[in-house]
Structures are given as structure tokens and as C-alpha cells.
Amino acid sequence: MKEIILGAQFPGVNNFTIWSHPDAGSQIGFDSFRHLAKTLERGKFDFMFLAEGLRLREQKGRIYEMDVAGRPNTLAIMAALAGVTEGLGFIATLSSTFNDPYVLARQLASFDHLSNGRAGWNVVTSPGPFTGANFRRGDYLPHDQRYDRARDFVDAARTLWAAPGRDFDIDLPHAKLKGHFGFPHGDYRPVIAQAGDSSGGRDFAASHADVIYSRHGSLAEGQAFYRDIQTRLGRNGRAPGSLKILPGAHAILGDTEEEAQHNLREVRLAQVSPRAAIAALEQTWNRDLSAYDPDGPLPEVEPDLETKLSLGRTRLHDDVTETVRKWRALAEAEKLSIRELVIRVTARKHFVGTPAQVAAEIDEYVQSDACDGFVFAPHYVPGGFDSFVDQVIPILQEKGVFRRDYTEGTLRGNLGLTPAPARAA
Amino acid sequence: MPVPLSIGLATDLSLDWRALIPALEDAAEFVTLTDQFDSGQDALILANWLAGQTQKLGIVAGVALNFAEPFHVSTAIATLDHVTDGRAGLLVQTATGREEAAIGRAPADLTADLEDAVEAIRQLWDSWQDDAIIRDVAAHRFLDADRLHHVNFRGQDFSISGPSITPRPPQGQPVVIGPVAGADLALASLANLTVDGGITADEIVALHHDGLTGWHLIPRAASDLPHLLRLLPQLRRRGVISPPRGGSLRSRLGLSPAPNRFAA
């Protein structure tokens, strides 16, 4: 039986985070972050995951007001959390586009050193001019070179990590570095993760990453993705299982299955408020749709294919015309209002049921090679994950598919990637 | 008159940082963590790692601003201030010479670039008004966008749109220390003394005089720090240094609460 890998994300800047929840706390205070980290450590989670955004999102020329916005510096808050935990790993999302290789590689080495080997880096590439406007070099990197730079960046970082206390001379197109890395001796191998589902992203993961953070909802989709990645690993001369596949997911619990389904409905209605439904539609239509009734039918007007109404978001779909055609067909067939449609088409993978049902389904996904585990996101902070840790984890431990205690002390060890390296004090 | 004590620590000292925390908390108003750039720990990471484990120590992280991204520095120091609830500062450093090769970027006009970076960082700290998060459930608005500001900073070599991704830090403006226009304090204005294991309390008392605003003691090597810490009770008894006062780092340095330049 495979041991399940579990991570959890501190939820933030997206409409899945319900800031209006009666128990919702601060999105920026250290207490919120510490609460989640301590909860995950109590549940013996492999790691905590943090996303990154380098510019606030805008819509219709204004900063977007409806979702949570505002977050700490990713690496800084994770360093602070590493100081108050002992076994939990950390995977920090950090841009290879708007960082310098030497500075970030050294920061990650410090993070790994101070946390005794619990550092991970989710390597992302960042989009151009909108985000670039916050950085010294601006929009400097052609779109098709984003992964070239990411590769060079990771290669340069690994060269540095392997050379504490030594000189280095790195001559890669996107990383030309020469100097001395005066760092304490030790075994620095931060875990490399990759998120993003493009073919370029998959290839980058297969050649460079230890973990891939994916989005595949159904068992069959997951299994197809899992097989595709094993094939790509083989092409890179890597062993099967050397890249851990961890889709994002959510869990909604109830004392009965009916109660859990009811809870899911409540959560989705809170996530997609009437105003949020219109805003979500505007992101695809690229038009001001504020005059439409969220409980009425889809707008008859066609999407504007020329302008860009929404800035700072990952594009959900490339072909707007085709997407809108599908949505119209779905709304027509099932008589869905705008709000109902948005709830439907923005759904993500949810495990819904009693703790025993959720544990069984998670286990089924892992044992049938749809994935190696999951990265869960609670839907509010700081207590949104307490019940999962208290109710689902013990069942997984009882099944013998999840650890009862940390044994390795490193993130790499938690993930079962290699035997725990001997570390310098 | 006893004056506040700060301790200057280079991040490449081979110290057991965790074990030191209780002693540093009781010893000093704040520590500066000087980043050596090509040796030792990154000061921003070390500062934040320490921060979560402290209750009252002021923590001032050194950054070679001519090489760093001002946006990242601004959010990392703001985070340090959130984690410590108002005990954070930024020590402005410059990196020159052999470090240039390491990073692959030639330095700009140093003075102008530093001043630009400090100004950009300060504007980003103010880019969220303190009351920007409104959590208006009825209107489904988490933010009031009118209380967030694009800083549209234009410097000599770079520009930054903003606003920050990080809400305004508790101090509003964390303390900026350095020999640069726009700083709150220059370390040179304090009585700086590099100490080794041979120095006595008598020698420090002899150097103390009226008009000093603070002592900044810098252990020369890691092994000199325990000796320095042992001298402190005597220095306190003899009226040279005052015990840490607590509260925000700004208030401890006699700085008034920082108004927000963007607030009406």
C-alpha cells in the first residue's frame, strides 16, 4: 500500500476563501498562519503550501474588491513558521521570473538550513507587463522563454546548494553567476515543486521537479495524468514514483452524507455570492455585466474578444467563444441562472461525506494511482481545517496509509523521496 | 543617563541562533542583522525565522538594496512587522565589488539607487490604508479599493506600480536604519563599539558620557557574544544602558506614529 502524502494550503486570494464565514479570522496576522501550521503539524501533514501573487488583481480598471486580497511575503512568513514548528515541511511558491537566481537560491538555502531541511520551492513563471511593473526589469522576458529561465534558475540554484563554502562559476543563458558561496556546510536540497498543466510545464516537472501540484478532479483524469507523467519521467531517465503527483482538493465533512452535501451547498453559495457570480462572468465576457440579474439567464450579448477587463489572474480557458458556447448549452439544458452556472463551472474537486467516506475516497485515489496524495485548501482561516485533522486523519492512520508521527525530520524524508540525508548541525 | 542598547550581529557568525533568543530578548532593544551577501544566512530569512520565536526583541534586517528587488524587500519587512506586531526594521546596506559577479547585474549609481529604493519601499508600505480591509458582507466587498493606492514610483533606474500585496504593517512605517536620505536613524549616530572577549565593563563605562543616544555593541566573533552578554547586568547597574522597554520599535526610538502619505 502506498503511504498517502498530504499538504495543505493557507487559503487566500481567490473566491474559495470565505472571508464572510462567522469564524473567519485575519488573513495577515501571524496567529492565523501559526494556527494552521500547528494544526497541520498535529495532523502530521507532510507540508504546508503557500501560493504567491506579485500584484493585486484588477477588474474594470479597479483593484478587485470582492475576494480576499493582501498576503505576506511568501518566503518570509514560511521562515517565521519554520521557527515555531519541527516536523512540518513548507513549500513556498516563488517566481523564477521576478527573482534573481543568486538572491533566491541563497534565501532558500537559509530557509533549508534554519528549518533543518524542511524547505520546498514551488517554481512558477510569472506573466509579463502587468506583474513586471512592480519589478526593476519590468516586462523583460519573452513569453516563450519563461520555462528556459525556470530551468536555468533551478539548475543554478542546485549548483549553489551543492557548493556551500566553495566558489561557483555558472554560465547559463538565464543565470550567469560567479563568486563564492560562503555558506555553512550541509546537505541543502530544497524540494522542487511545479504547478501548471501546460505541456511545457509538464516537461519542466518531469526533468526538474520532485512534486507536481496538479488540478485533476476525477479518478480517470487523474490516472491519465499520472500515466502521462510516468512516461515523461522515463524520457528523462528518472525512476517511476520519483515525482510525486499531488492535485489540489477540498474536503467538506458532515455527520451524514446528506449533511455533508448540505454543507457543500452552503459553502458554494457563500463562495459565489450574487455579485461574485456577475464578476466571474465578466472575467470571461470581458464586458461590464453589472446590469444583469445573477438569478436570471445568461446575458444575450456576446463576449468581447478584443479587450482585457481583468488583470492579474491565471486564464481559465484559452478559447472564450467555445467556452461561452458550452456554458450557454449547459445553462439551457439545465435551466441554470447565472449564479447556478458559475457555481457549476467553477467547481473544484471536493471530497464530500462523513469522515470515513472522505478517508476511503482519498485512499482510493492514491492506491489506484490517480495521484500520490493531495494538497487541501480549507475554505476559511484559521480554523477551517481543524475538523479534517481531528476526524479524517485518525481514520487514515488507522488504515495504515498515513504516518502517526514524523520520522525523517526533513521535507524530502516526509515525501519519501530519498533516504533522509545526514545533516550538518 | 542610561541609554538603549542595540547589538549588531553579522549573519555569518556561527551562532546557535535559537539558543540565543532568550538572552537577546532580555539584553537589547533591538538587534541588527548585517547581511554579508556572499557569506552566511540571508538576513531577511533569518530575521523572520527569529521573529516568530520572540516576544519583545526589535529585529532589523540588513539588505543590500542596490541588488534587491524593492518590492520583495518591502513585503518581507512588512511581513516581519506583522509577525512581530511592530518590532521590525530595515538596515540599508550596499553590496559592491565581488558580489557583482555573483548576481550578474552591474550596480546602478549607488547613492541614487539606494535613495530610490528606500522611497519606493516606504511608498509601498503606505499603499494600503490602515482601514482598507472592510469585510462588508452585505455588499460582498472585502476591500475598499479607494483605500489602496498605486504608488506609481518613478526612480532613476526603475519604476514600481504598486500597490503592495501586503497590508500596511503595524508600525505603518517600519524603522529604516542606514546612511541614506530617508532613513530614520544612522547607526553612526549611536556609540558604536566592536567588542572582543577581553573588553571589561570598566572600559565601556569610561567611554559613556552625557549626550549619547544609544549604544551599538558589535561582537567581533561568535565567541565574543557570550562575554558581551555577561557584561550587561553590570552596565545596567552602573547606569550605562537601560533594560529593553518593549512596545513598537518606532516608539522605542522616539519616533512618532507614522502618518500615511496616501490617506486623505
Provide mean pLDDT across the span A237-247.
Answer: 94
- Give residue A277's domain range: 273-345
Contact B72 A73 (CB under 8 A): yes
The helix/strand/coil state of A111 is: helix
Q: Which residues of B touch A30 (CB under 8 A)?
A: 52, 82-83, 85
| pLDDT(A420) > 60 | no
Task: Number of A to B CB contacts under 8 A, please give it.
Answer: 182
Contact B71 A54 (CB under 8 A): yes
Q: Which residues of B touch A109 (CB under 8 A)?
A: 42
Contact B140 A66 (CB under 8 A): yes
Q: Which residues of A touch B76 (CB under 8 A)?
A: 73, 75-76
E-strand stretches of A237-349: 244-253, 310-311
Q: How crowded is residue A207: how many other Cβ atoms within 10 Å of its Cβ?
A: 19
So what's the pLDDT on residue A217? 78
State which H helix or E strand residue A267 sits in: helix A257-271
So what's the pLDDT on residue A425? 33
Contact B103 A34 (CB under 8 A): no
pTM: predicted TM-score of the whole model, two decimal places? 0.96
Contact A65 B142 (CB under 8 A): yes
Interface test with A, best of B24, B45, B59, B136 (most A CBs within 10 A): B45
HSE toward the beta carbon, residue A286, CA cutoff 13 A: 13
Considering Cα of A73, then A64, then B143, then A90, what sign does the dihedral take? Answer: negative
Nearest residue of chain B to residue A62 (CA atoms): B145
Calculate the average pLDDT of chain B: 94
- Find the CB nearest A63 among B45, B85, B148: B148
Kindly state whether B262 is in contact with chain A, defined as any CB-CB distance less than 8 angstroms: no
Calculate the average pLDDT of chain A: 93
* Residues A159-205 pLDDT 10s: 999 999 999 999 999 998 888 899 999 999 999 999 877 888 898 99
E-strand stretches of A241-280: 244-253
Query: pLDDT exceeding 90 applies to what percent of chain A?
Result: 83
Same domain, A403 and A307: no
Interface of A with B in 152-181 (CB under 8 A): 175-181
State which H helix or E strand residue A214 sits in: strand A211-214
In sequence order, what are the beta bridge partners of B141? B136
Same domain, A128 and A245: yes
Cα–Cα distance for residue pair A317/A324, rounded to 1 Å: 10
Domain membership flag for residue A328: yes
User: In the block, which residue shows the cell 491565471?
Assistant: A314
Superfamily of domain B5-252: Luciferase-like domain (3.20.20.30)
Kindly state whether B99 is in contact with chain A, defined as any CB-CB distance less than 8 angstroms: yes
A32 close to B105: Cβ distance less than 8 angstroms: no
A89 close to A414: Cβ distance less than 8 angstroms: yes
B23, three cell numbers: 538572552
**Of the candidate ranges A113-117, A126-130, A220-224, B68-72, the one whose mean pLDDT is the lowest:** A126-130
Q: Could you tell me the CA-to-CA distances from A275 to A65, A289, A338, A343 in Å, in that order?
A: 11, 10, 11, 13
Provide mean pLDDT across the span A329-350.
Answer: 93
Kindly state whether B53 is in contact with chain A, defined as any CB-CB distance less than 8 angstroms: yes
Interface test with A, best of B12, B83, B131, B134 (most A CBs within 10 A): B83
Give the amino acid at A173. P
Band (pLDDT 50/70/90 cuts) for residue A423 is very low
So what's the pLDDT on residue B105? 63
Same domain, A358 and A337: no
HSE toward the beta carbon, residue A153, CA cutoff 13 A: 27
| Domain ranges within chain B, ordered by starting residue | 5-252
| Closest to A278 measured CA to CA, from A260, A290, A265 | A290
Give the amino acid at A97. T
DSSP type of residue A392: T
Same domain, A247 and A146: yes
Provide mean pLDDT across the span A312-323.
Answer: 75
- Find the CB nearest A135 among B71, B102, B167: B71
So what's the pLDDT on residue A424? 37
Q: Which residues of B touch A101 (CB under 8 A)?
A: 104
Q: What is the mean pLDDT of each run of 10 residues along chain B (264 residues)?
A: 96 95 97 93 98 98 92 98 98 77 64 93 98 94 97 95 98 97 96 96 96 96 96 97 96 96 89
Same domain, A71 and A155: yes
Give the total number of structural domains in chain A: 2
A145 close to A168: Cβ distance less than 8 angstroms: no
Dihedral of the CA atoms A335, A337, A343, A347 (nearest 10)? 40
Contact B82 A98 (CB under 8 A): no
A342 close to A280: Cβ distance less than 8 angstroms: yes
Same domain, A66 and A132: yes
Domain membership flag for residue A268: no
| Closest to A215 measured CA to CA, from A99, A364, A317, A121 | A317
Interface of B with A in 2-41 (CB under 8 A): 12, 14, 17-18, 36, 38-41
So what's the pLDDT on residue B100? 63
| pLDDT(A422) > 60 | no
Question: Angle at the Cα of B144 (from B140 to B147), degrees rounded to 5?
Answer: 175
Nearest residue of chain B to residue A115 (CA atoms): B49
Nearest residue of chain B to residue A83 (CA atoms): B49
Q: Could you tell me the CA-to-CA distances from B114 to A41, B106, B136, B166, B179 in Å, in that order?
A: 41, 14, 40, 22, 10
Contact B83 A107 (CB under 8 A): no
Same domain, A175 and A299: no
Band (pLDDT 50/70/90 cuts) for residue A135 is very high
Q: How crowded is residue A4: how many other Cβ atoms within 10 Å of its Cβ?
A: 21
Residues across chain A: 425
So what's the pLDDT on residue A421? 39
Domain membership flag for residue A241: yes
Same domain, A250 and A370: yes
B99, three cell numbers: 558580489
- Closest chain B C-alpha to A140 CA, distance in angstroms: 13
Cα–Cα distance for residue pair B12/B177, rounded to 1 Å: 20
Please, what is the angle between helix B110-125 and helix B70-84, to 10°? Answer: 50
CATH number (domain holding residue A53): 3.20.20.30
Contacts of B138 by beta carbon, 8 Å cutoff, 6+ apart: none
Q: Which residues of A touch B68 (CB under 8 A)?
A: 103
Q: Could you tell me the CA-to-CA distances from A299 to A303, A332, B227 in Å, in that order?
A: 9, 12, 75
End residue of a domain, out of A322, A345, A368: A345
B190, three cell numbers: 549611536
B21 close to B53: Cβ distance less than 8 angstroms: yes
User: In the block, which residue shows the cell 513586471?
Assistant: A132
| Closest to A177 measured CA to CA, from B102, B37, B68 | B102
Q: What percent of chain B is helix, strand and coil (3-state, nearest 5)? A: 35, 20, 45
Query: pLDDT exceeding 70 applies to what percent of chain A?
Result: 97
Cα–Cα distance for residue pair B32/B216, rounded to 1 Å: 9
Cα–Cα distance for residue pair B103/A175, rounded to 1 Å: 8
End residue of a domain, out of A285, A310, A345: A345
Contact A28 B82 (CB under 8 A): yes
User: In the block, which residue shows the cell 470515513?
Assistant: A356
Q: Which residues of B touch A64 (CB under 8 A)?
A: 143, 145
End residue of a domain, out of A321, A345, A369: A345
Considering Cα of B192, then B197, then B199, then B202, what sign does the dihedral take? Answer: positive
Same domain, A11 and A71: yes
Provide mean pLDDT across the span A3-32.
Answer: 94
HSE toward the beta carbon, residue B34, CA cutoff 13 A: 17
In sequence order, what are the beta bridge partners of A62? A59
Rg over alpha carbons for chain B, rounded to the nearest Å, is: 19
Q: Which residues of A touch B51 (CB under 8 A)?
A: 80, 83
